[in-house]
Chain A
């Protein structure tokens, strides 16, 4: 789960990770009020969406008067902001963050995430602030300094010194930087964060460090104990069909092909997409129906897949282990009674009681249900059906 910049900064403030003062606004009027409350004569109007690259897309603007604040907030609110992370359709901006101006001397990058190979958090810093870190890592990897932090002992000053000297900071700024990095590590651990990215981290004219931007993602498995983070969830930033699928214990991700798939198990679901692709078709989605594959979940699966108008055929691929195939077959037949399935459905059931399942499907005599013998046969038939063959 991800949160907005202004929400991440709320968490930062509680841990004394320095940020600028700012207020959230949903209308141009509120934006002006926010600017007046902040005072000063320069403000930044920042679109709040869950995607990076907002500045380049025209979602971050500098205002030198309250009338400019109004003008820019009016421009940004309601726009479909397109960045390299949103896809071509962009994301609707529903709120802007109004922040005070800052005297920026230099920009850096600072990030924290789990290193899966080391099985501990790593903190990364770079002098190339404001650039996409993936590009820096690719083009000039020597400009990224990394420290791995053993969670049993936590963040130590030497971690901070290694990063600070690596960034070429003058001696008198080292302790300020260590304090910043140490507080950030605490934010990360205390909230079960998956990643924190500050890009840019800025140094001001008076030698202070500030999180000018803030991006945070969290471990979904830990949300049950992170009530504060949970309250920050913005459902309007997520795919409605993915949310709905989640309510029924289904894991769904929309793709852009025309062969819908319904599979038990995440690995086999990915493998099914790959098989469809291998057989010359294009998968319309990832869908893991989980272990039970009951009539209700299968019916819900059909509903969700068929919300996508591109879907021309559906491949149901179930490997029955503990769940018996005959029960799944009955589930599929029941599901076609609950919901209207108007495309060919290719069904491959293998594993426990597969023979009984094939009989059940054949005897049901439903015109648009086609049985397949194995994974390759099912994928081939589904691809052909989607092509109208």
Chain B
């Protein structure tokens, strides 16, 4: 078991024939992901990486039965691509693109919600179910199969955490990079119940960072509803207030969104919070042995 995606998931790529889309679609296929086609307006009817190219998402869905779209279009076209996917009946859009305007995402997300389409990202590494399906840009070989669910705002910290989990002798069910933008799709609060319900997931690692209050919402949810052990790390304990730390959403504004307040809330919810990211693997091993 796993959450959201598995070896049978049919995936199309929006921005299929572009440089990034091509490179990563190829990597995903090599990992075992069922990429069944792609969309590049004007290139419909062609073949790319051995798969059909369509002009519209609707055609791609009708012809392939795909339920998930991996989006690689340039930032200015992201909201259009997301809405097209939602309109075509895609159930999950994984938005890899970095740099989409916040206003566009505000509209695109509202439209996706209305059309019952889940989104992951933007500006994220994607989602991977270990040894089954990789939809994104993460290095697949780090994610050995196991019993730990992973949710993270950061790409490289996802790899770092998965690597530590594996070094301790454990593995991953599904890892989701939710992205660090001010407006994102699925967040901790929506993903935690999925991991709670997944019989193969025995523990959850969550990686947060400064800015916004998604981690605080997660803490409240964990306290009430999550029975599986959770290990958390919040990046940016040493970040100065008012400065944007790389991610568009990673900023302490008006004194709110600090690492300290998030760590305190998670601790109060019974989460094992580590101060150093180097201790994520060790802490996970501890809660797994209990």
Contact = CB atoms under 8 A, between A and B. Distances in A.
A56 B142 CA distance: 54
Interface string A276-300: 1111000100101000000000000
A266 B159 contact: no
Contact of A119 (B158, B183, B209, B238): B183
B9 to A, nearest CB: 22
A137 B182 contact: no
A127 interface: no
B107 A151 contact: yes
B219 interface: no
Nearest to B142: A351
Interface string B96-135: 0001111110110110000000000000000000000000
A225 B259 CA distance: 33
Nearest to B157: A267
B156 interface: yes
A243 interface: no
A116 B213 contact: yes
Contacts of A251: 246
Given A286-B239, A319-B159, A269 B99 contact: no
Given A116-B183, A192-B101, A271-B235, A264 B156 contact: yes
A119 B109 contact: yes
Given A265-B154, A267-B152, A271-B157, A253 B240 contact: yes
Contact of B182 (A116, A133, A276): A116
| Size class of the B contact interface (CB-based, 8 Å) | 35 or more
A255 B212 contact: no
B99 A253 contact: no
Contact of A265 (B156, B182, B237, B254): B156
Nearest to B236: A270
A120 interface: yes
Interface residues of A, number: 56
B103 A283 contact: no
B73 interface: no
B139 A85 contact: no
Interface stretch (B64-72, B81-89, B274-282): B274-282
B171 interface: no
Nearest to B110: A152
Contacts of B285: none
A379 interface: yes
A27 B154 CA distance: 48
B109 to A, nearest CB: 6
A268 B245 contact: no
Interface string A317-346: 001111000000000000000000000000
Nearest to A117: B213
Contacts of B249: 116
A222 B139 CA distance: 30
A194 interface: yes
Given A117-B212, A117-B213, 14 more contacts: A116-B212, A120-B106, A189-B103, A222-B102, A267-B156, A271-B160, A272-B277, A274-B236, A274-B275, A275-B276, A278-B278, A351-B163, A374-B278, A375-B277
Interface of A: 85, 114, 116-117, 119-120, 133-134, 137-138, 150-152, 189, 192, 194, 219-222, 224-225, 251, 253, 255, 263-279, 283, 286, 288, 319-322, 350-352, 374-376, 379
